[in-house]
Structure 1
Amino acid sequence: MTDDAYLVLLNDPAPTLGTPPTALGDLACMQTPAVRAWLDAQGVTASSPALRLLPPEETQAIPEDAERLPVPLGEEELSRLRHRTAPENVARLEQELLAYRSCTDGREALLTRALAAGVPAHRVAELTGEDLTAVKAVAH
């Protein structure tokens, strides 16, 4: 397995591998000289229906005769790519996990603010669903 995602030009008129790069919004790699030159050499644009982007863990599925180019993606870009290529039920769960993460970001700061404002620890635990022991531990 490689650490790079791959841009792939597929010969199949109805590709099901990967995702079109344009479906992911702006990707920094698409503006690099290397990618622009590769697209020009292939005679395609970034919006070509045969152009697909695959995450590193799916590169073994690339047909041997397919033109390919490794491209580095940022963490957020790779996350979008993986989400887009995941089966629908997995993508839904990933959305829930992201929502959970965004809710829990700043958890300790929120608990600290609530306690400092005078909300009793047992009430913070009741409102948040946090364990009372965990809420009390934040206070110390």
Structure 2
Amino acid sequence: MTDDAYLFLLDDPSAPLGVTPAAVGDLACMETPAVRAWLDAQGSTAVSPHLRLLPPEETAAIPEGAERLPVPLGDEELSRVRHLNAPQSLARVEEELLAFRDYADGRDGLIARALAAGVAPHRIVELTGVDPATVTAAASR
């Protein structure tokens, strides 16, 4: 696994893989000379429907032979990519986990629901800021 997210080009823009950078919003990496040169070399643009972005933990899903470029993302940018890349049911639970930062009532129930929905324990820790041991304890119940 790499620490970088990846920009890549898909042959079929209707494929449900990754997110378009335009959907994520402002990304600092999109203005770098390296990304702009790569896009020029590919004959593509930052708003192309063929251009996609995946977080580091998902880059194994990039089709073999697809043109790709590793790009560093800030924490907030990476969080937006992960949120948009998640299936809708996971995205809803992740929104609840983000809201969880503002209150503690129902914490264990929310963590249990998130785990049951398939949210990875490390992602729950990242979204909520709770101690990893708390998530581990909820997973074992």
TM over 0.5: yes
- For 2:44 and 2:57, the matched residues in 1 are separated by 25
**2:34 paired residue number:** 34
Question: How many residues are paired up?
Answer: 104
- For 1:89 and 1:63, the matched residues in 2 are separated by 25
Correspondence list, 1:1-140, <5 A:
1-103=1-103
- Give 1:15 deviation, angstroms: 2.2
- For 2:17 and 2:87, the matched residues in 1 are separated by 12
Large movers: runs of 4+ above 4 Å: none
1:51-75 C-alpha deviation (Å, 9 max, x unpaired): 0000111110111110000000000
- For 2:14 and 2:83, the matched residues in 1 are separated by 21
SS at match of 1:102: coil
The aligned amino acid for 1:99 is: A
Q: Provide closer, same or farther for how the CA distance between residues 87 and 43 of structure 1 changes in structure 2, counting only shifts above 3 A.
A: same
- Give 1:16 deviation, angstroms: 1.2
- For 2:12 and 2:58, the matched residues in 1 are separated by 17
1:105-124 C-alpha deviation (Å, 9 max, x unpaired): xxxxxxxxxxxxxxxxxxxx
Q: TM-score, normalised by structure 2?
A: 0.71
SS at match of 2:99: helix
- Give 1:76 deviation, angstroms: 0.5
Structure 1: stretches of 5+ with no match in the other structure: 105-140
Q: Look at both structures and tell me which one has the larger radius of gyration over its CA atoms.
A: 1
- For 1:102 and 1:33, the matched residues in 2 are separated by 39
The aligned amino acid for 2:95 is: Q
The aligned amino acid for 2:43 is: G
Q: Percent identity?
A: 73
Structure 2: stretches of 5+ with no match in the other structure: 105-141
RMSD after superposition:
1.1
